[in-house]
Amino acid sequence: MMFFKEKAKLLTTILLLLLFCVPDSLVPVVVAQKKKQPGSSDRELWLHYMDKVARPVLSNLAADQLKETMPVALSEKIDNKASREKVAYLEAFGRVMSGIGPWLNLEGGSKEEVALRNQYRQWALKAVANAVNPSAKDYMQWEGGQPLVDASFLALGLIKCPWLWEHLDRKVQEQVITAFKITRNTVPVYSNWILFSGMIEAFFANYGMDYDPVRIEYGIREFSEHWYVGDGMYSDGMNFALDYYNSYVIQPYLATILEVAGKKSNRYKGYAPEFDKITKRYAEIQERLINTDGSYPVIGRSIAYRGGAFHHLADMAMRQQLPESLSPAQVRSALTAVINKTLTAPSSFTKKGWLNIGLYGYQPDAADFYITTGSLYLCATIFLPLGLPETDTFWSAPAAPWTAVKAWTGQDFPADHALDLH
């Protein structure tokens, strides 16, 4: 008996020594690592949760069964129940595609990742075909306000994944074009919505089709000339709101639209340096919003989009355009913490694997009047850096503490300064 007691004491001593040998600055990072269940690397963790989020949507749509199987939960404050229910399926599909597009376009990786990507490519081809085929059970709703929003997310995903567009049958491509043209009947709200119309036209321009340059010009001009409010942020229309819409939509959309438009003419070349400063500053702000445990301020509407709040930071990492003040490793570690925080919470998913309304688990009161089950899939945009190969520094560098970790564990950290464009 004494032998076992002494052995227990020895083990306890060893564990305490190991704990106190870990630098304070890395404790939150180590804790995040311990939470990982699927695999040993951040990339494996990201792939696991990307698959967990996207699989129910794409596998069922590929089988022409999305409308049969996807439950459509609605905000208790919903403004138009019948209309919102119809478009929820396009919401889920478009938003998933906007997040996984770069990964679908990537080649190589481990044999497990290649096999997973090949499966998703086949699902994506069939999913697009069913979504735009009027004879399919899962044919989507393309006419109306919300369909414009989510057609634009699909367009964004197709721009980010040339492989998918190029491997669609010609008939399916024509049906996609027809569906996107239907959205031109909708006049966008005078807000970030003008970028939804611009993204549809950017899709046409990107693949060499006739497009309306005025719809592209409109979005770029309003944000660049009228709606920049300072310190790396734009107002969402005429009034500024302290929310995450610079990340959900505005800056990632402007980046893609400007990139596509820049290939067509030099018209916006003069704005590029200013926009680069704005996006880099907002990336710094986003990184500093992520707390040591992966939580972040619960402010503004659409908070149920979960990790979609960091669409911009993820997009900047994927584009390899992070500011010099942020290392790819610290951004990866910070976003990993957000994924862990928002997707491992109890009741984040239904028993059948669909997202529940909420930020940390099931929290129906967090839903705004337009939120449905489909809306929640904007969280897929946090997975954009999976479009970088595993050899990229974003993935290969060791885990690193982000700003909040440094600040709240006593490490030195750089002071923050507002952006002055002038």
How confident is the model at residue 237, as a pLDDT? 96
How confident is the model at residue 28, as a pLDDT? 44
pLDDT in tens, 56-68: 999 999 999 999 9
pLDDT in tens, 80-124: 999 999 999 999 999 999 999 999 999 999 999 999 999 999 999
pLDDT band at 40 (very low <50, low <70, confident <90, very high): low
Question: Do you know the residue count of the chain?
Answer: 422
Residue 13 has pLDDT above 80, yes or no: no
Query: How many Å separate Cα 356 from the centre of its chain?
Result: 17
The tokens describing 41, both together, are 């690397």
pLDDT in tens, 231-240: 999 999 999 9
DSSP designation for 415: P
pLDDT in tens, 259-312: 999 999 999 999 999 999 999 999 999 999 999 999 999 999 999 999 999 999
Interaxial angle between packed helices 81-105 and 42-62, expressed in degrees from 0 to 180 and rounded to the nearest 10: 130
**Higher local confidence (pLDDT), 37 or 261:** 261
**Higher local confidence (pLDDT), 27 or 81:** 81
The dihedral region occupied by 296, where left means phi > 0, alpha psi between -120 and 50, and beta the remainder, is beta
pLDDT in tens, 75-86: 999 999 999 999
SS3 75: coil
Evaluate whether the domain defined by 38-408 bears CATH number 2.60.40.
Answer: no
Average pLDDT, the chain: 92
How confident is the model at residue 32, as a pLDDT? 45
Report pTM: 0.91
Residue 34 has pLDDT above 70, yes or no: no
How confident is the model at residue 30, as a pLDDT? 42
**Higher local confidence (pLDDT), 25 or 343:** 343
Query: How many Å separate Cα 394 from the centre of its chain?
Result: 17
% of the chain residues with pLDDT over 70? 91
Q: Do 316 and 251 touch, CB atoms closer than 8 A?
A: no
Instruction: Kindly state the average pLDDT of the residues 157-169.
Output: 98
Instruction: Kindly state the average pLDDT of the residues 9-27.
Output: 39
Domain ranges across the chain: 38-408
Spatial separation of the C-alpha atoms in residues 157 and 105, rounded to whole Å: 10
